[in-house]
A and B are shown apart, each in its own frame.
Chain A
Amino acid sequence: MSGFLRRVGAMVRKEFLQLLRDRVSFATMIMIPLLQLVLFGYAINTTPRHLPTAVLAYENTPLTRSILAAIENTKYFAVTHHPTSAAEAEHLMRAGDVLFVVEIPAGFERAVVRGENPAMLVAADATDPVASGSAIAALRNIIDTSVRRERFAREKGPQGSGLEEAPPPFEIITHARYNPAAVTQLNIVPGLLGTILTMTMLIFTALSVTREIERGTMETLLAMPIRPVEVMLGKIAPYVMVGAVQATMIVVAGIFLFKVPVVGSMALLTALTALFIVTNLSIGYTFSTLAQNQLQAVQMTFMYFLPNILLSGFMFPFDGMPRWARWISETLPLTHYLRMVRGILLKGANVADLSQDILALSAIMLVAMVIAVKRFRQTLD
């Protein structure tokens, strides 16, 4: 046993020295989280506000005015253009000057009052559904409300002044739990914690064994009295620490820069993050035993990274995926980790709430470790 610890210790020491000497890799490990945080945190927003909107109104009545006021009140829309013809409106949209065209037909109010259920056209530039999606959802809501209120005021209110005296502020009810303001950062920052750890942990361990093979040092290492599991632990351990530093950076930045709430237990988050880091390192190590050279190792990492990003629920909602895609995503560590982080940080989830994800992640880790140790060749055969 003491021999085991001594050899693992020697490996860890060696790996650390190499890591510290490899300035570029070391800088990358620190820069990747920072860059991604800044980019995702400040530059990317999936529920953009103040989208340019054109209003093509064929009548100007109290009802249409109140609808337009309500539209602007949502903050999703900024009425920037008032085209006078359909052709002009069409041009604005084609040129990309506006994302929405709201067209109010002539006789709209009268039709509403008569209960004819008139149509109001809202054309949206859906080339980027993410950008327009939440705005459309809000729009439908307010128009419903406006029309109902106007009709209600007309029917119940005193004759003649009913329209003018209807309460002008139109309330918009969007029910967004945990992120009431639909602030993208609250979703993105916990997600980033998972993706950044996946990316850096995987790449650096995937390179570690293949680098030894490429540089010819593997032959010497294999000729030494050291066991595969000792090599693996010795190579993984330094990166656990690197991962811990990255995770701390991201969480601290999330709390202070993006005001991410910490509803749940920080200790639980730390423990589960450690589990996630070790899982990724084991997978990366498995790749490195499969790859012939460093280039292949990087290619494998990217192949693995892609479904993680697309299917884990980081980019697109998990519940929007078909069943088969969900099955795939259940096998990805990132899926489970994202549930854990979002659960702990935003919802205050505890161990019992997350037990299924913890079990799944542990199982994935064990499988990866077994494959890695089995795959590690003790000989050059």
Chain B
Amino acid sequence: MTGSAAGPTAPGKDAADYVIEVAGLSKSFGDRVVVRDLSMRVRRGQIYGFLGPNGSGKTTTIRMLCGLLTPDSGHGTCLGYDILTQSRAIRRHVGYMTQRFSLYADLSVRENLEFVARIYGVPDPVRAAREAVERLGLAGRERQLAGSLSGGWKQRLALGACILPSPQLLLLDEPTAGVDPKARREFWMQIHELAAEGLTVLVSTHYMDEAERCHEIAYIAYGDLLAQGTVEQVVAHSGLTTWSVTGGDPAALARELAGRPGVEMVAPFGTSVHVGGHDDAALARAIEPFRARPELVWRQDAPTLEDVFIDLMSRSKDNFR
């Protein structure tokens, strides 16, 4: 899953190898700081996962990257173009898929694709649209109005419209929200194929399983970038120690454990309870009395990505208070 595989167009690991390179991006709406001093680098051909709770500034960051929002401060480049002054050039080479379906509901599948092809100046837009329809598996539906497609098909069409003008970078804002698991898996297969062809993909998501499909991830909460790197790196850097306990009533156990010194995180998972903390000695002391209970089975395990994110999130919230 670490996949540091660079695309075929990226020969080495020099500076030009970074498709997105921004530093100190900030944006506020009124008094509310939405993104604070964000710096990130995304290598060519990578799938970069962008994670964070609702309202954490993911969409705002993506919009700043493609020139839809002007940052209050900060600088950087996207595909080598300055995000502050060359947003038109960026738009030509970036495919942006919005969170909400935003193609024309009253146009047919084919008409939507042809419109996109024409705006981007794709030679022979009619053929390009027809090929896209076939590639997307939308053959037979090309005359259907986009608004009448089901959620999965809409998402497929939106992705198809994004990649139609052959962009070098895809910005996908929660592309799989409200899509069934099968469509989700197919979607991710397609993303990996595109990345293998050299396309760079920045994708925001809530789903942990999707985060684990990314080459690298970044975690943003309440405007702050809290962690960045491969999944393994992020988990290793978290400094969390976790135990899982089975047997007994998980809900009652969770209530008992919560709030004890050293226990920073308690989450019931089916028949087991996940307990974690940063100070492993304190955590060990906290669970000591429980280990004596014969019905409970204790096992130390590695924190999951979700453990790490929930921990990051709760700590960043604490910082705000």
Contact = CB atoms under 8 A, between A and B. Distances in A.
A225 B100 contact: no
Given A223-B96, A379-B69, A3 B105 contact: no
B119 A216 contact: no
Nearest to A20: B106
Nearest to B72: A381
A216 B101 contact: yes
Interface residues of A, number: 27
Contacts of B70: 379, 381
Contacts of A7: 118-119, 121
B111 A380 contact: no
B165 to A, nearest CB: 9
Given A222-B68, A223-B94, A225-B91, A10 B102 contact: no
B96 A13 contact: no
Given A22-B106, A216-B102, A225-B88, A379 B121 contact: no
B68 A14 contact: no
A216 B103 CA distance: 8
Contacts of B63: 380
A170 B197 CA distance: 98
Contact of A215 (B68, B87, B91, B105): B105
Interface residues of B, number: 29
Contact of A14 (B91, B100, B115): B115
A217 B96 CA distance: 12
Contacts of B106: 17-18, 21-22
Contacts, number: 74
Contacts of B101: 216
B111 A14 contact: yes
Interface string B96-121: 10101111111100010001101111
Interface string B181-197: 00000000000000000
Contacts of A159: none
Given A223-B91, A225-B92, A14 B102 contact: no
A52 interface: no
B96 A220 contact: yes
B14 to A, nearest CB: 28
B57 interface: no
A379 B104 contact: no
B97 to A, nearest CB: 9
B129 to A, nearest CB: 12
Interface in B56-74: 63, 66-70
Interface in B201-246: none
B225 to A, nearest CB: 22
Contacts of A11: 119
Given A17-B107, A381-B70, A220 B115 contact: no
A223 B96 CA distance: 7
A226 B117 CA distance: 12
A381 B100 CA distance: 18
B102 A224 contact: no
A223 B66 contact: yes
Contacts of B103: 217, 220
Interface centre among B68, B87, B88, B121 (most CB of A within 10 A): B68
Contacts of A381: 69-70
A219 interface: yes
Contacts of A10: 115, 118-119
Contact of B107 (A18, A216, A226, A379): A18
A110 interface: no
A224 B93 CA distance: 9
A215 B100 CA distance: 9
A70 B69 CA distance: 78
Given A215-B105, A224-B116, A3 B121 contact: yes
Interface string A354-381: 0000000000000000000000001111
Interface string B19-40: 0000000000000000000000
A379 B88 CA distance: 11
B149 to A, nearest CB: 15
A224 B104 contact: no
Contacts of B102: 215-220
A14 B105 CA distance: 12
Contacts of A216: 98, 100-102
A215 B105 CA distance: 9
B116 A380 contact: no
Contact of B104 (A6, A18, A223, A380): A18
A240 to B, nearest CB: 20
A129 B302 CA distance: 91
Contacts of A238: none
Contacts of B94: 223
Interface in A224-244: 224-226
The 6 closest A-B pairs by CB, nearest first: A10-B118, A223-B96, A220-B102, A216-B102, A225-B92, A225-B91
21 contacts: A3-B121, A10-B115, A14-B107, A17-B106, A17-B107, A17-B111, A18-B107, A21-B107, A22-B106, A216-B102, A219-B68, A220-B98, A220-B103, A223-B96, A224-B91, A224-B120, A225-B88, A225-B91, A225-B119, A379-B67, A380-B63
Given A7-B118, A10-B119, A223-B67, 18 more contacts: A9-B118, A10-B115, A13-B115, A13-B118, A18-B106, A215-B105, A216-B101, A219-B102, A222-B68, A223-B66, A223-B68, A223-B91, A223-B98, A224-B91, A379-B67, A379-B69, A380-B63, A380-B69
